[in-house]
Structure 1
Amino acid sequence: MTDLIDFESNLRQLKDFQQRVLLVPAQWRAFVPAEPLAWDRVRFTPENKAGVPAQRGIYAFVVQFQDDREAPLALPTHGYVMYAGITGEKAEDRTLFDRYGDYVRDQRRPKRMSIWSMLNKWKDDMFFHFAPVSPNFDLGAAETALNDAIIPPYVTNDFSAEVRQLVRVLRAN
């Protein structure tokens, strides 16, 4: 009986972290931004906000294993893009730095429950990847193209109409 209780307990713990992801190489390869993106990243903590630039740009939250111990590494570095977005498209003065601060607040008090859950479920392994862009860069088009390419599980609307329809059907089944 103890084995069954342990099994059920372990199963519940794993289900809390179960995530459905779509890994579609053809979609990745189709993504070509209007200008090269110089991606950088910081571990998502309140203290790391200072490492995010006060520029408009594109960003992604990645649940990522990073072994900070000395070599040899236990596992290779790997991760999953969970959410991607932009800042500075509508309000030119909104920056990656500002948006990062919004998410730090969202982690403490939920505004969007799914994002709050994502930020807290993997809080020790969440990284904020970001790429500042030029003033002429079409952020809206880049956000749609990026989300179409990687189909992050916490994005709900920022896809092209065609991909949004497919994602809704896939997620409903």
Structure 2
Amino acid sequence: MSVRKRIGVYPGTFDPITNGHFDIIQRATLVVDHLIVGVARNAGKGPLFSTDERVEMVRDELPHISTHGATVEVRAFDSLLMHFAVEMGAQVIIRGLRAVSDFEYEFQMAGMNHRLNPQVETLFLMASDRHQFISSRFVKEIGRLGGDIRPFVSPRVAKRLLSRFAQEMPLPADTTLPLQAAP
């Protein structure tokens, strides 16, 4: 008797990927055998990084997190999430929740996805308490305004963000921005 492999999709824009996203990825690998991190093209959100850059950012971080023996792959998609999940052979869509406001949106989305395909379940994972307030939007805003983003993203992601911000608005020559992980 063969055991069916549990496949999950964790979709998002990941612009940029944050420590909160990595927390969800790690915890999702406790409940699936294979996790596909689906990077949505989602040009409507006006991403800071291209889809290819976001895929690369996520892939670059995977060796630095524990996946509990599950395999993890990263793929870009620009279709309906349910179509992507079915194409990937997923039985579950993983979604992270930070606050009640997330729940309302995600609850509606899960209902619509269930109507589209009742064979694919949505699994909500609550953000860990230390990551509940992190959002990619806030990280970008803090970074653009010269704030310390190190507690919210990996050192590698921080470096990419700061480099991108420097391209957008060059900083004075005497400005130094820390790139080391916060204590």
Q: What is the TM-score with the length of structure 2 in the denominator?
A: 0.28
Structure with the bigger RCO (C-alpha within 8 Å, sep 6+) is: 1
Q: What is the TM-score with the length of structure 1 in the denominator?
A: 0.29
